[in-house]
Amino acid sequence: MKIMARASIAILVFALSGYLHAAEGLRTLADTAEGMGLNGGRLIIQDDAAVVRTNPASLPKITHTTMEVTYQAWHGKTDFEGAMGQSDSMYDPWKHLGSVYIAHPINDTMTAGLGITAPFGVSIKWPREGAFKYVGAYNSNLQTVAINPALGLKINDDLSIGFGLDIFRSKLQLKQKYPWFIAAGAGAPDGDMNFEGDGWGLGAYFGINYDIGDRHHLALVGRLPVSVDYDGKFEISNIPAPGVALPRSEFDSEIQHPGSIALGYAFDASERLTIGVDFEWIGNSSHDDIPLTIGANQPLLGGKTASPLNWEDSFSVGAAMEYQWTESIVLRAGYQYSESPMTQQFYTPSVPANDRHILSVGAGYTWGLNRVDLAYSLLLMGDSTIQGNVDPAINGTYDYDWNVLTLSYTRQF
């Protein structure tokens, strides 16, 4: 029973901590093509409608009612070579995200905005009979919609401020095999576990922009943590004997997206060229464990109600440039270094988890009241060699390959 409890706990740590990591733990990338092209130095330079979410103090830069629609495609894989000779590869490499932003000037000094995005939509699949059998969820899905109302106010020619709300609606589903043979002996068929839950979360953020003369610009952006409490059901099949478990019980957990503080600086090198530098600190250590509650089936977890993450605070730093090549065409490029918050002891294979170097290029074309932006980003991560993990089956070497393509269309009215 202790082995089954350890397996069940590892299942949720494997999957849920992966979602945290995919969301704010390693920091999401921008969700529009302009933001991606400027990734690493966008806080003050970015001026599309997505500033509703990234820096609401930049909303007063938008002088016409504007709508922006984005499609973002992620393609990536993770290959695993275990310390005990096992190997595996994540499959279903495509991830599809999108967003819609609207910004509307109320008057000469105040602009309101609304964003609807899917910033934390993650689907992770490993082979059902693979190397992580009984260790992690073979099918994990997190669907999160972020609703962001925001308001930006121009105080004077040099200073503007902005405020916004993070309203999250999230659904979580995990599927995992369960080793009933440990309790019932050889020949007992594996059980299928299904965790399903959904919930809401609420947070807030602010931005401050300040111009130092005509060519130097500063931005400060802060975000409060957002906690999402998940309520739903837990199901398990092929129970070997009455009284060992119930086929269905409640499921409760929590994911907390940590708070952050970011500082951006931009320099207008010429009328055509602007260079930006960003630094961001992320308070990952604020969420040190994952609550685990499955009602009457709690004994399957050995009586434990939470499992540790022990994440560390992390940071990202980068630079970007934007060049107005012609009246209609703008070129962008960016670089960002993002530190992983995870330690080897509590590493999870759910998502890419090493320090990463992100290279981005992009361009925008404007005609009349319309604009199209395109960006490509390459995520460079060295191999992760994990030793001393709390679950020995996770020890080994992980190789990553991730690419992101972003397309945005903007219309002014």
DSSP structure string for 261-326: EEEEEEEE-SSSEEEEEEEEEE-GGG--EEE-B-GGGGGGGTT--EEE-----EEEEEEEEEEE-S
Q: Given this model, what pLDDT does residue 1 score? A: 46
pLDDT of 353: 66
* % of the chain surpassing 70 pLDDT: 89
**pLDDT tens digits, residue range 320-356?**
999 999 999 999 999 999 988 887 777 776 655 678 8
Please give the pLDDT value at position 286. 76
- Computed over every residue of the chain, the mean pLDDT equals 85
Check residue 3 and give its pLDDT.
45
How does pLDDT run across 250-285, given as a tens digit for each residue?
A: 999 888 888 999 999 999 999 999 999 999 999 988
Question: How far apart, in Å, do the first and last CA atoms of the chain sit?
Answer: 64
SS3 382: coil
For position 267, what pLDDT does the model report?
A: 98
Mean pLDDT to the nearest integer, 85-106: 85
In degrees rounded to 5, what are phi and psi of residue 309?
-105, -45
Please tell me the distance from the alpha carbon of residue 110 to that of residue 150, in angstroms, as a whole number. 11
What is the value of pTM for the model shown? 0.87
Range of 25's domain?
A: 2-412
* Whole-number pLDDT of residue 349: 66
**Number of structural domains found in the chain:** 1
Question: Residue 245's closest CA among 184, 197, 172?
Answer: 184
pLDDT in tens, 15-68: 454 444 444 333 457 889 999 999 999 999 999 999 999 999 999 999 999 999
DSSP structure class, residue 57: G
CA–CA gap between residue 303 and residue 251 (Å, rounded): 15
Name the most confidently modeled range: 80-94, 141-155, 378-392: 141-155
pLDDT at 20: 41
Q: Residue 122's pLDDT is what? A: 58
Residues 315 and 285: beta-carbon distance below 8 Å? no
- Write down the pLDDT at residue 69: 97
CATH number at residue 266: 2.40.160.60
Among 277, 264, 270, which Cα is nearest to 211's?
A: 264
Q: Kindly tell me if the per-residue pLDDT of 121 is higher than 70.
A: no
Residue 218 makes CB contacts below 8 A (sequence gap 6+) with 44, 209, 210, 211, 212, 263, 264, 265
pLDDT reported for residue 14: 47
Query: Is residue 145 pLDDT above 80, yes or no?
Result: yes
How high is the pLDDT of residue 284?
A: 85
Q: Which residue has the higher pLDDT, 17 or 248?
A: 248
The arithmetic mean of pLDDT across residues 313-322, rounded, is 95
Q: How far apart are CA 305 and CA 25, in angstroms?
A: 22
Helices (H), 118-259: 181-184
The larger pLDDT score, comparing residue 148 to residue 80, is at: 148
Distances (CA, A) of 308 to 89, 232, 281, 413: 26, 22, 22, 50
Average confidence (pLDDT) over 383-399: 78
pLDDT at 161: 98
pLDDT at site 397? 82
